[in-house]
Amino acid sequence: MQEPEVTFELAKTFGLMEEEYKRILEILGRKPSYTELGIYSVMWSEHCSYKNSILEIKKLPRSGGRLLVGAGEENAGLVDIGDGLAVAFKIESHNHPSAVEPYQGAATGVGGILRDIFTMGARPIAALNSLRFGSINSKENDVTRTKYLFKNVVKGIGDYGNCFGVPTVGGEIYFDESYRDNPLVNAMAVGIVKHDEVAKATAKGVGNPVFIVGSSTGRDGIHGATFASEEISEASEAKRPSVQVGDPFTEKLLLEASLELIRSGVVVGMQDMGAAGITCSTSEMSAKDGMGMDINLDFVPAREENMSAYELMLSESQERMLVVIQKGKEDVAKKIFDKWDLNCVEIGTVTQGPNVKITYHGKVMAEVPANTLVLGGDAPVYVRESKEPAYLKEVQNFDQSQLAEPKDLNEVLITLLATPNITNKNWVYEQYDTQVRTNTVIMPGGDASVVRIKGTKKALAMKTDCNGRYVYLNPYKGAMAAVCESARNVACTGAIPLAITNCLNFGNPYKPEVYHQFREAIRGIGDACKKLNTPVTGGNVSFYNESPDYAVYPTPTIGMVGLIEDIECMVTSYFKNEGDIIAIIGNVKCSDSIGGSEYLQQQYNLVKGDAPEIDLDKEFNLVNALIQLAKAKCINSAHDVSDGGLAVNIAESCLINRTLPIGCTVNIEYKGRPDFYLFNESHGRAVISFNKENEDIVTKICNDNKIEYLNIGKTGGKAVIINKEVNIPLEIAKDAYYNSISQIMEN
């Protein structure tokens, strides 16, 4: 194609600012070619460069604990779990693609995060997700589109994971009108690798050949990175070509071929081709060790005719890798990929730095210093204006005592159990293959999912978590809460929290109020991670989650992984035996504030008040106590108190075992209104059950960890009974808890 003349006006259409365009001119000492302009525009987009976020992200604790590599050093985080094994895990967003093409947007989000894992040499053992949509049962707005997005995102996730052969074991789903136009689709993957089989995303050794492997390159996904760095609007529909198309069967072949190649010992470096395609992988691998590359696009396998250099460089076609092979070992790589019927084509060589040079049809189309393109190099870095949002004072100035007291708490609890944010998500996870590879031992629906590591006694607990409503009301406390709840979730299974990955979903960073939310959330995550000794392994920043009218709730999603040393010590969330003692441990004397609660929203249609208080010392102590209780094998269940408060927690503990629900009789002394006590969402609490003969050891462990213990009742019977206020037959509670979403989606 005849490349258009490069001007600043053209650069603006690519998302570059005037100062950035001038900087490109200075770097190159000339006007960039059209292809070079495209390269800089995608690599300097927020999605690739984190130019508006990196200075804040660097404040997070990114070392310590069991980390084997620092945050951002490789394609995914890597944490030691003993016995020469490590766990690789990461979470990323695919929000904008899913808003315009929900099936492929979600599917390729799963595919991309899986490649990040096996590019490290790790075999994926589990996938999770964190999803946000508008209301699916709103009486005020048409929910047709929201249901369409919800249905197809779930189908895209399920189809890709099921075909690839990885169990989708957990996640979370929230519904709120703030996400109506801009859904959030965050995908997480977890894998296992031996220490001596870890692959790195690097380019070393002058003269070493560079291969492109996997699928052929097409025109799908071009400028996907820049599309992810702008707000959703009516024009977004026209950007469907920016959404990649996935092929899970090819990805499965690519997995096996890549792992075999790594085990062969001939790999110097390997990187997934995700955002920005060949552009990103060549520049990042080169810049990491100060090298360069000569790339000839004539050799890139293309599935469409007459593709330009610009299109080949920016395509985000899926199921592709860039691999640097030891010189002289080319035949080893080709033989392995021929076996798996995949492309394995030499397209260039590693050169002495600093430039990545791109030729096509005998002409140099681009030649740019690799370091000027990448995060951590000379890509632009900005600090944006920050201003506390005016709405905070208004929403936090809230007097709950003025609320009318409900007459029937049975009705309130049934309503909460049926509300889409709390109700069991079986309609979703039953579309996923949760047991492929036969390692899943705790299925979706509890506090955290657990996957055994074959050949050992170990297992991994994993969870995604964030309550965007809390972060909206108090960005600092809300973000802390996401970390703490994730830690409580994995600890309830008996797992030691190891580290987190995060997906930071916010609005437009150029808006001072949004940037304030972002900075405060980072501060909250950092403080919680430092206290809990759960360093940040890496993750993703997703800005511009806005429609023309409003931004989504700030949603810093946390992905947590924990280690169970002995799977025989694992604990589940549900009551198991008739006559077991039920107790609250942790923050027993909690506040009765209902600010930010599901109860306040459902009963009164209000999002007001402050986010629940967080005491990091108490959170730390509770987590340690839960781990010790599990190790001592003295409890039969543990379930942390979160959305819906204590009453919902108790009902869920009765119901989570769908095939064998067990009722309970609970009596608790409290002061004030019963609804405020039963439905407030104070942190730092868990409900446990255990045999009476274990009460002494349970209380001792609680005392040793300086947390409170309160015996509140016993399991048994055919109803959920809480004081005089609640008495609901199990069958009625079960119907509300398990059938709500299916009924909504079928109507």
Q: Looking at residues 192-199, what average pLDDT do you find?
A: 96
Banded pLDDT at 25 (limits 50, 70, 90): very high
Within 10 angstroms of residue 331's Cβ, the number of other Cβ atoms is 11
pTM of full prediction above 0.85: yes
Q: Looking at residues 634-659, what average pLDDT do you find?
A: 98
H or E stretch including 505? strand 496-505
Q: Looking at residues 186-193, what average pLDDT do you find?
A: 98
Q: Looking at residues 525-540, what average pLDDT do you find?
A: 96
pLDDT for res 72:
78
Determine the 3-state secondary structure of 413 from DSSP. helix
Q: Looking at residues 178-201, what average pLDDT do you find?
A: 97
Q: Looking at residues 636-645, what average pLDDT do you find?
A: 98
- Higher pLDDT: 653 or 47? It is 653
In terms of C-beta density within 10 A (0-12 exposed, 13-18 middle, 19 or more buried), how is residue 735 classed? middle
Residue in 94, 96, 516, 683 annotated catalytic: 94
User: Is 223 annotated as catalytic?
Assistant: no
pLDDT for res 231:
55
Reported as a single tens digit per residue, the pLDDT across 659-681 is: 999 999 999 999 999 999 999 99
Determine the 3-state secondary structure of 82 from DSSP. strand
Contact 121, 193 (CB under 8 A): yes
Token reading at 255: 């997995």
Q: Looking at residues 337-349, what average pLDDT do you find?
A: 98
Return mean pLDDT, the chain: 95
Q: Looking at residues 367-387, what average pLDDT do you find?
A: 94
pLDDT for res 229:
45
Q: With 50 as the cut, is the pLDDT of residue 324 above it?
A: yes
User: Is 683 annotated as catalytic?
Assistant: no
Determine the 3-state secondary structure of 635 from DSSP. coil
Whole-Å CA distances, 607 to 71, 388, 391, 484, 603: 35, 18, 11, 22, 11
pLDDT for res 74:
85
pLDDT for res 747:
84
pLDDT for res 140:
81
Q: Looking at residues 706-716, what average pLDDT do you find?
A: 98
Measured over the CA atoms of residue 431, residue 174, residue 605 and residue 143, the dihedral's sign is negative
Close Cβ partners of 399 (under 8 Å, ≥ 6 residues apart): none
Q: With 70 as the cut, is the pLDDT of residue 553 above it?
A: yes
Percent of residues, the chain, with pLDDT higher than 90: 91
Q: With 90 as the cut, is the pLDDT of residue 227 above it?
A: no
pLDDT for res 121:
97
Encode 173-183: b = buried (16+ Cβ within 10 Å), e = exposed: bbbbbbbbbbb
Reported as a single tens digit per residue, the pLDDT across 57-95 is: 999 999 888 999 877 788 899 999 999 999 999 999 999
Reported as a single tens digit per residue, the pLDDT across 426-463 is: 999 999 999 998 999 999 999 999 999 999 999 999 99
Reported as a single tens digit per residue, the pLDDT across 143-161 is: 999 999 999 999 999 999 9
Banded pLDDT at 240 (limits 50, 70, 90): very low
Q: Which residue has the tokens 């830690």?
A: 487
DSSP3 helix / strand / coil % (the chain, rounded to 5): 40, 25, 40
Upstream peptide bond of 124 is cis (omega within 30 degrees of 0):
no
Q: With 90 as the cut, is the pLDDT of residue 601 above it?
A: yes
Please state, in angstroms and rounded to a whole number, the distance separating the CA atoms of residues 31 and 29: 7
Q: With 60 as the cut, is the pLDDT of residue 202 above it?
A: yes
Nearest alpha-carbon partner for 587 in 622, 612, 611, 627: 622
- Higher pLDDT: 225 or 584? It is 584
Cα atoms in the Cβ-side hemisphere of radius 13 Å centred on 215: 29
Q: What does DSSP assign to residue 276?
A: T
pLDDT for res 544:
94
Banded pLDDT at 177 (limits 50, 70, 90): very high
β-pairing, 685-690 with 664-666?
Answer: unpaired
Banded pLDDT at 547 (limits 50, 70, 90): confident
Can you say whether residue 684 is alpha, beta or left, with left for phi > 0 and alpha for psi between -120 and 50 degrees? Answer: left
